[in-house]
């Protein structure tokens, strides 16, 4: 006999639901009180809402303004800020050393990566970005040869072929309207890194039309932003992060990732099957691997995907930031033009070696890396079970700690006139105004045994593109992009708005 659904049973459900809600609220308040007053990190300063709950941190993550807020917090509270109940943020040069550099026999690569933040590889093999220290040393020992100065010299013709193509495509554009440089720099960076990683390009530059990015570029950019969403949800309490709606969204993201993984894996397999022979990353991996037997086939396959993700939008961001800030000040642009055009008599003389010796060009790039931080997001490490001493203060075990490069580079405590663009601070004889700058607080490629392998390549590409742009075109910043860098959203990296510039080809005898 069925039991009728009565008012009283409905009332009982409502009472149960209300009781659960009240219990949840009481638990949340109790947890916040514990985090504020009794937590092992309770003595560290920070915004009270951030110290109370991770929700505060995640809100700013998803709002795209977390690095801006982190800078504000450091300006208020000092070199160490408790940005979340279980996470400390630092912005000083000594923290770079304590978190990232060699420490002792147990921590030869600095503190281990925070696995709550970092996603593991889809094929479940160690990758250099997330690997534990023991695997990281093995992987890096092989990969480092692909990024050596000798390897870069051999890769120079391939890289320059895409810079040639960029100059040609820019000449084809109409001159009666400003040009958005973001898609052109982004496509150049993607073509270069795809060819070096997989042995072929998908034609990003050739197929950039009316400022529209190639679908491949949009796919990779979306992947980075989606990764931030996944990381943010993983750090929320289970009551919030584990529900049907969240699982549905994460499942959708997972399917997109798997589709990209399958495509890049197929491309990697084709390149590996071709063997060594062309001057790209894979040739060096195969040579070193055959000698040392250090990487498995799945590790080789995913390495190319890692190179592509790490070296595409980052290089485009550097180029955009460099061009924008140099153009904002006519004196800086004029000095840069004089140095570049006065150093060679023809474009073919602009080799990587020669451009590396131009002091003001290098200073402009270095300052652009500082004020427009390529990756302004914190990549946290985890203190070991025994704890660690950071900036002279002991931090208990199993807590997230990290350097925020944006908060370090834009801090007035580290750099005079920190928010202003002054390339002269990086010259051999710097302006006395910047004598007190703590240049070790500026580490755009990180520092220590896990620093960026692609530093030399990124700088070489930036020098070549900027120098040849100066040589070939008279460039002016369009009025609508005068405040281009202001208040851009940040989802791991800056979400770049259109960078509108007037380009007029230089006529040479």
Reading the chain (509 residues) residue by residue, the pLDDT tens digits are 455 555 546 566 666 666 666 877 888 899 999 999 999 999 999 999 999 999 999 999 999 999 999 999 999 999 999 999 999 999 999 999 899 885 555 545 568 888 888 776 666 777 888 888 778 888 898 999 999 999 999 999 999 999 999 999 999 999 999 999 999 999 999 999 999 999 888 888 988 876 677 776 777 766 677 777 777 777 776 656 566 656 666 667 667 777 777 788 888 899 989 888 888 999 988 888 865 557 888 888 888 888 888 888 899 999 999 999 999 999 999 999 999 999 999 999 999 999 999 999 999 999 999 999 999 999 999 999 999 999 999 999 999 999 999 999 999 999 999 999 999 999 998 789 999 999 999 999 998 888 999 999 999 999 999 999 999 999 999 999 999 999 899 998 999 999 999 999 988 65
7 within domain boundaries = no
Query: Is 283:276 a contact under the CB 8 Å cutoff?
Result: yes
pTM of the complete model:
0.92
18 within domain boundaries = no
Residue 134: CATH number of its domain: 1.10.630.10
C-alpha 189 chain-centroid distance = 14
Q: Which of 245, 179, 257 is nearest to 220 (CA)?
A: 257
Query: Is 196:158 a contact under the CB 8 Å cutoff?
Result: yes
Q: Is 320 annotated as a binding residue?
A: no
C-alpha torsion 194→326→452→278, nearest 10: 30
Query: Is 121:127 a contact under the CB 8 Å cutoff?
Result: yes
Query: Is 123:468 a contact under the CB 8 Å cutoff?
Result: no
17 within domain boundaries = no
Q: Which of 407, 177, 197 is nearest to 302 (CA)?
A: 197
138 within domain boundaries = yes
Domain count of the chain? 1
10 within domain boundaries = no
23 within domain boundaries = no
Q: Which residues pair with 81 in a beta bridge?
A: 89
d(CA 465, CA 186): 12
* Boundaries of domain holding 344: 39-505
- Only one residue has tokens 């203060």, namely 393
Burial label, 252 (beta-carbon count in 10 A; 0-12, 13-18, 19+): exposed
d(CA 318, CA 146): 21
Query: Is 74:411 a contact under the CB 8 Å cutoff?
Result: yes
Tokens at 60, concatenated: 């700013």
9 within domain boundaries = no
33 within domain boundaries = no
Provide CB contacts within 8 A for 283, sequence distance 6+. Answer: 146, 276, 277
Query: Is 379:451 a contact under the CB 8 Å cutoff?
Result: no
């Amino acid at each position: 006999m069925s039991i009728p659904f009565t008012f009283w049973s409905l009332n009982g459900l409502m009472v149960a639901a209300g009781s659960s809600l009240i219990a949840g609220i009481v638990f949340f308040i109790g947890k916040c009180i514990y985090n504020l007053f009794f937590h092992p990190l309770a003595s560290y300063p920070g915004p009270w809402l951030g110290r109370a709950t991770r929700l505060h941190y995640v809100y700013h993550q998803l709002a795209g303004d977390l690095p801006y807020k982190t800078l504000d917090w450091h300006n208020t509270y000092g070199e160490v800020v408790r940005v979340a109940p279980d996470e400390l943020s630092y912005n000083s040069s000594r923290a770079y050393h304590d978190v990232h550099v060699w420490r002792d026999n147990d921590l030869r690569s600095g503190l281990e990566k925070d696995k709550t933040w970092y996603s593991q590889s889809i094929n479940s093999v160690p990758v250099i970005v997330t690997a534990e220290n023991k695997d990281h040393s093995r992987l890096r020992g092989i990969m480092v040869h692909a990024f050596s100065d000798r390897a870069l010299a051999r890769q120079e013709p391939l890289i320059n072929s895409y810079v040639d193509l960029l100059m040609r495509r820019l000449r084809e554009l109409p001159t009666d309207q400003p040009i958005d440089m973001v898609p052109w720099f982004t496509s150049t960076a993607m073509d270069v890194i795809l060819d070096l990683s997989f042995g072929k390009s998908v034609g990003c530059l050739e197929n950039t039309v009316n400022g529209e990015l190639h679908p491949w570029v949009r796919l990779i950019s979306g992947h980075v932003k989606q990764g931030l969403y996944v990381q943010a949800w993983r750090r929320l309490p289970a009551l919030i992060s584990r529900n049907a709606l969240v699982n549905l969204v994460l499942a959708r993201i997972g399917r997109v990732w798997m589709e990209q993984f399958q495509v890049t894996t197929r491309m990697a397999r084709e390149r590996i099957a071709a063997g060594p022979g062309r001057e790209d990353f894979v040739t060096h991996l195969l040579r070193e691997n055959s000698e040392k037997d250090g990487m498995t086939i799945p590790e080789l396959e995913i390495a190319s995907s890692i190179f592509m993700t790490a070296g595409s939008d980052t290089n485009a961001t550097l180029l955009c930031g460099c061009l924008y800030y140099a153009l904002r000040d006519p004196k800086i642009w004029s000095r840069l033009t004089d140095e570049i055009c006065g150093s060679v008599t023809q474009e073919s003389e602009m080799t990587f070696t020669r451009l590396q010796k131009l002091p003001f060009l290098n200073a402009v790039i270095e300052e652009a890396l500082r004020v427009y931080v390529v990756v302004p997001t914190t990549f946290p490490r985890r203190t070991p079970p025994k704890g660690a001493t950071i900036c002279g203060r002991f931090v208990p075990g199993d807590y997230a700690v990290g350097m925020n490069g944006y908060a370090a580079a834009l801090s007035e405590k580290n750099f005079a006139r920190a928010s202003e663009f002054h390339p002269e601070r990086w010259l051999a004889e710097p302006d006395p105004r910047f004598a007190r700058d703590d240049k070790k607080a500026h580490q755009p490629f990180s520092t220590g045994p896990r620093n960026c392998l692609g530093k030399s390549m990124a700088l070489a590409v930036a020098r070549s593109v900027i120098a040849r742009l100066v040589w070939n075109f008279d460039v002016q910043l369009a009025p609508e992009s005068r405040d281009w860098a202001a208040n851009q959203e940040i989802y791991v990296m800056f979400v770049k708005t259109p960078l509108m510039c007037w380009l007029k080809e230089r006529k040479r005898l």
